Chains A and B, each alone.
Chain A
Amino acid sequence: MAQRRTILQILGSIFPLSLLSGASGCDQEKPSAENMPGRDYYQELGVKPFINAAGAYSALGGARMRPQVADAMRYAATRKVKMKELHDAVGKRIAELVGSEAAMVTSGATAAMVLGTAACMTLGDEDKMQQLPDTNGIKNEIIIQKKHRYTYDRALTVAGGRFVEVETEEDVRNTVSERTAMMFFLKPTHVGDNIPAERYVALARELGIPSFCDAATTTPPGSNVVAGVSEGFDLICYSGGKGLRGPYSAGLLIGRADLVRYARQNAAPNDVSIGRGMKVSSEEYLGMLVALEASLGVSEEADFSYKRKRFSNIIEQIEDVAGVTTRVFVSESETNELYLDIDWNTDIIDLDRQQFIDALRAETPAVEVRLLLFSGGRIHLSATVMGDGQDVIAGQVIRKVLLGHS
């Protein structure tokens, strides 16, 4: 099974530090209201604060929402509207923004996969929707390329789908039958595939099978959503709380009008749907739209300059520590994520990389960097979730740990 975040980024190009000159970051990174004294809930609860230099992982609370997303959520939290009207209006607007027939907000990319599968299996048939996840007498086979099997394909079985693995176009033709509900495709494409996206879409169309693409992690930049939609999959899904910096438990399902309608029928707030448990609040619905709008307005360069600034502030704290080397580089995946690689001479600093990670975790505040599993065994920092000012603190913590073992 392929990991979503592969180790390919170590092959990425290197950005010389000279390019990091005084980038000022993006104005919209700043929250729109003044800090106000109030309850410090995490302190009350004994929840330890940490600086997230690892990335927008669900287990670490996802992305940092843009301030306008947080504002929009507060707006929606204090004004009631009819959910159906809101779902219609937001769906229509998102579809306009990305150039699709239709769109809906889900409780995350996984929910989009569950609902998309349910839509393709039931095609709006009330009895079949009621019957899920029992798919007896319902088309339930999902065609998937062997190389596209991965951790999150679990979602395709939640509504009752079953995998049929293929490697070649011939395999697809041979396996398509009345039982075939959907043809699944995984992006980014660097996971490897035998049948490329363009051929896969064409083949699905020729065979009359709905195609579904999981593009959950292919942002930033937000423009990748528009690009992904234009590839012609019947349905495509994105995570909302990661690269798009929207609400944590939100995602997007985009595509054909009929299939999105069926997906909605299988979802909350419909009382007897398989997806009733995957509730999306009005603040998440609106927040997702605002996040997408904002993401489409941010260029990759503006995003990078913000992150480079965070990295240069960290580097400033540690560059004079003997034996330490740093480099900023762009991963070669479709998301073009920017990382800071930190390394040191173990003859001078007596610390292996896992010990370094453990030591950072033990500090207050703790600093989380990418797991070695995801970074090809190296120390990688991400600035995706790092707020203004947290960079310097992270740099100080890292300095302390490195010097402590020098």
Chain B
Amino acid sequence: MKTNRRHFLAGLSAIAPLSSLSLKASAEVAATPDYFANLGVRPFINAIGPYSSLGGAEMWPEVIDAMDYAIKNKARMSDLHDAVGRRIAELTGAAAAMVTSGATCGIILGTAACMTMGDEAKMERLPNTSGMANEVIILKRQRYLYDRSIRAPGAKLVEVDSVADIRAAINPATAMLFYLLNRPDDDTIDIAEYVAIAKEHGVPILCDAATTVPPIANLKATVAAGFDLICYSGGKGLRGPYSAGLLLGRPDLIEIARRNGSPNHRAYGRSMKVAPEEYLGMMIAVEKSMTFDEEAEYQRRLDIVNLMGRDLSTIKGVETFTRTPGAEAREPYIEVHWDADLYKITPAAVKQALRDGDPSIEIRALFLSDGQVHLTATMLKQGEAEIVSSSLKEILLASA
């Protein structure tokens, strides 16, 4: 992230061929057209973060190279799935692993695995789950937007009020316990107890840990916690391919999840295809996330948000605060406040004005920040921080 990847990679196409099988290269390198400009799709400065709707995280350059390799060199999908799964399991300490088309896909295939347990007739029947164990127990306070995916293959959600109520809710129709992992620092549920209940009753437990990395230490800790299945988003904190994710866990369940997934012709999950380049790219993203200097990257981001903060504070009546959400999070941001008597503009209007500006800038306001204006550095490229703070200053001054 330190170099300006756009320029560094734009014309560079790294191919690592199998010596005997590579396609022949041509000396004439055709310039890649500026597709987005031709389509009228506007570039923008991302001071909000790696959201799916904004194209996710910046992939590691190594991931892009690996994807290019897999695009140009063919492997049998089952060989690739086996080998990459093994390697990711080694790297993460999980017993087994697979690459999915995203964290949502991980939840869907994991749920399908727990409901069918490899029974061919049951797999063929999904999402019709009449006559099979199809109940998924979830804590009321862990209900969230994405629990919709649990229902996709035909499961029914059974809400319980407390961990203690889980035991009473478990019955022969119970397919799975669901656990939503938040940042460890704001977690108030005893994971060990939750996992113990699952083990005691022989019911698999799936943990959605989609957004809990970085730091990568969280992933290792979660794997060690004993969940039967854990899913991660690939295109966010791990900086892998946008439409990829991880499902880690028990070898038998991973094997069944794979059978419910693509490329199996009649699988419920055949539509959630994962390309060879996504499979390999995801592995490289895990490798890279395991070894890079998180502290240095955190410091880099902190320096950038502080730079924006200092610049904004140079105008009268503006105050900024540097925040780090939770002790372990690696996404520092600044909160921007202004004197409402001096600058007669709302945060919503500021967000819109930045979006409408040239260049267009996306910031966090309202929905995810309790009405405050937040600026993050995660997705900013070199030189963009200055543009963000000066644009924001202009908008404030114009309202005075």
The answer to whether residues A39 and B273 also contact, given A58-B262, A84-B53, A385-B74 and a CB cut-off of 8 A, is: no
For A42, list chain B residues within 8 Å (CB).
18, 73, 75, 80
Query: Interface 1/0s, chain B 1-40, versus A by CB < 8 A?
Result: 0000110011011111111111111111110100110011
Is A49 within 8 A of B73, CB to CB? Answer: yes
- Cβ of B52 within 8 Å of any chain A Cβ, yes or no, is yes
- Cβ of B318 within 8 Å of any chain A Cβ, yes or no, is no
For A82, list chain B residues within 8 Å (CB).
41-42, 44, 53-55
- Which residue in chain B gives the minimum CB-CB distance to A280? B243
- Which residue in chain B gives the minimum CB-CB distance to A65? B71
For B145, list chain A residues within 8 Å (CB).
271-272
For A59, list chain B residues within 8 Å (CB).
76-78, 263
Give the docked Cα–Cα distance between A347 and B58 (Å). 61
Give the docked Cα–Cα distance between A92 and B152 (Å). 29
Give the docked Cα–Cα distance between A393 and B100 (Å). 34
Interface 9-mer from B249-257, B276-284, B330-338, B364-372: B276-284
For B104, list chain A residues within 8 Å (CB).
268, 276-277, 279
For A58, list chain B residues within 8 Å (CB).
77, 262-263, 273
Is B149 within 8 A of A277, CB to CB? Answer: yes
For B18, list chain A residues within 8 Å (CB).
40, 42-43, 49, 365
Min Cβ gap A194→B in Å is 25
For B128, list chain A residues within 8 Å (CB).
157
Is A51 within 8 A of B21, CB to CB? Answer: yes
Is B74 within 8 A of A61, CB to CB? Answer: yes
- Cβ of A52 within 8 Å of any chain B Cβ, yes or no, is yes
Give the docked Cα–Cα distance between A62 and B72 (Å). 11
For B16, list chain A residues within 8 Å (CB).
36-41
Query: Interface 1/0s, chain A 41-79, versus B by CB < 8 A?
Result: 111011111111000001111101100101111111111
Is B127 within 8 A of A158, CB to CB? Answer: yes
Within 8 A of B (CB), among A196-248: 241, 247-248
- Cβ of A325 within 8 Å of any chain B Cβ, yes or no, is no
Number of interface residues of A (CB under 8 A): 101
Min Cβ gap A121→B in Å is 13
A-B pairs under 8 A by CB, number = 312
- Which residue in chain B gives the minimum CB-CB distance to A87? B41
Query: Interface 1/0s, chain A 268-296, versus B by CB < 8 A?
Result: 11011111111111111010011000000
Is B29 within 8 A of A34, CB to CB? Answer: yes
Is B148 within 8 A of A271, CB to CB? Answer: yes
Is B22 within 8 A of A35, CB to CB? Answer: yes
Q: Which one of A38, A110, A249 lies within 8 Å of B243 (CB-CB)? A: A249
For A283, list chain B residues within 8 Å (CB).
242
Min Cβ gap A94→B in Å is 11
For B39, list chain A residues within 8 Å (CB).
86, 89-90, 93
Min Cβ gap A38→B in Å is 3
Give the docked Cα–Cα distance between A281 and B149 (Å). 19
- Cβ of A375 within 8 Å of any chain B Cβ, yes or no, is no
Give the docked Cα–Cα distance between A293 and B124 (Å). 37
Min Cβ gap A113→B in Å is 8
The answer to whether residues A31 and B25 also contact, given A60-B74, A78-B6, A274-B152 and a CB cut-off of 8 A, is: yes
The answer to whether residues A33 and B25 also contact, given A61-B276, A277-B269 and a CB cut-off of 8 A, is: yes
- Which residue in chain A gives the minimum CB-CB distance to B362? A82
Give the docked Cα–Cα distance between A272 and B284 (Å). 30
Give the docked Cα–Cα distance between A45 and B83 (Å). 6
The answer to whether residues A61 and B75 also contact, given A31-B25, A80-B54, A89-B39 and a CB cut-off of 8 A, is: yes
Give the docked Cα–Cα distance between A301 and B56 (Å). 41
Give the docked Cα–Cα distance between A272 and B143 (Å). 13
For A75, list chain B residues within 8 Å (CB).
10, 32, 35-36
- Cβ of B357 within 8 Å of any chain A Cβ, yes or no, is no
Is A48 within 8 A of B79, CB to CB? Answer: yes
Is A85 within 8 A of B41, CB to CB? Answer: yes
- Which residue in chain B gives the minimum CB-CB distance to A85? B41
Min Cβ gap B314→A in Å is 29
- Which residue in chain A gives the minimum CB-CB distance to B77? A59
- A-binding residues in B (CB < 8 A): 5-6, 9-10, 12-30, 32, 35-36, 39-44, 46, 52-56, 58-59, 64-80, 83-84, 87, 100-102, 104-105, 107-108, 124, 126-128, 145-146, 148-149, 151-154, 235, 241-243, 262-263, 265-278, 280, 284, 379
- B-binding residues in A (CB < 8 A): 29-43, 45-52, 58-62, 64-65, 68, 70-86, 89-90, 93, 106-108, 110-111, 113-114, 130, 132-134, 151-152, 154-155, 157-160, 241, 247-249, 268-269, 271-284, 286, 289-290, 365, 368, 385, 387-390, 393
Can you report 13 A-B residue pairs in the complex whose CB atoms are below 8 A from each other? A31-B15, A32-B32, A40-B16, A41-B69, A43-B18, A58-B262, A65-B71, A78-B64, A80-B58, A111-B272, A157-B127, A249-B278, A272-B148
Given contacts A279-B101, A388-B23, 6 further A-B contacts (CB under 8 A): A32-B13, A32-B32, A80-B54, A86-B55, A107-B271, A133-B127
